């Protein structure tokens, strides 16, 4: 018979620490778009074969649109980096929680002492 509840596998403390160190190494790569100097422009540039002709329309020529594209792409990279950083943060917190759990499983502590919050 098997347990239907997914159980958290117990990894050695050293392996959890290596995983945490690897996450730290990823941080530089994740933050790289924040250190770019290129100005950003929220939005997306799309090309159309013709202008719509409406008064007050903001349709641009192909040449004009091309000048905005690098700025909108830089904005999209920055927003993606922010999203990835949020995911990274959750993963790091989960690793730290698992490290704490492994460190609390020291022999000699009662089950009650292991669950007691640290102060």
21 CB-near residues (< 8 Å, 6+ apart): none
Element (H, E) at 31: helix 13-31
Structural domain contains residue 3: no
Q: Is 0.75 surpassed by the pTM of this model?
A: no
Question: Could you give the number of structural domains in the chain?
Answer: 1
* Mean pLDDT estimate for the chain: 82
8 A C-beta contact, residue 21 and residue 111: no
Structural domain contains residue 42: yes
8 A C-beta contact, residue 78 and residue 34: yes
Report pLDDT digits (tens) over 74-101: 999 999 999 999 999 999 999 999 988 8
Structural domain contains residue 39: yes
- Write out the residue range of the structural domain in which residue 99 sits: 13-49+58-105
Structural domain contains residue 87: yes
**pLDDT-derived band at 68, boundaries 50, 70, 90:** confident
């Amino acid at each position: 018979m098997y347990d239907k509840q997914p159980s958290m596998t117990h990894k050695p403390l050293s392996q959890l620490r290596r995983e945490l160190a690897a996450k730290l190494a990823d941080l530089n790569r994740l933050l790289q778009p924040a250190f770019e100097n290129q100005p950003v422009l929220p939005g997306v540039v799309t090309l159309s074969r013709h202008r719509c002709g409406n008064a007050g329309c903001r349709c641009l020529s192909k040449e004009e649109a091309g000048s905005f594209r690098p700025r909108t792409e830089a904005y999209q990279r920055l927003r993606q980096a922010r999203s990835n950083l949020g995911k990274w943060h959750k993963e790091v917190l989960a690793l730290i929680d698992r490290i704490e759990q492994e460190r609390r499983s020291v022999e000699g502590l009662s089950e009650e002492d292991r669950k007691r919050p640290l102060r």
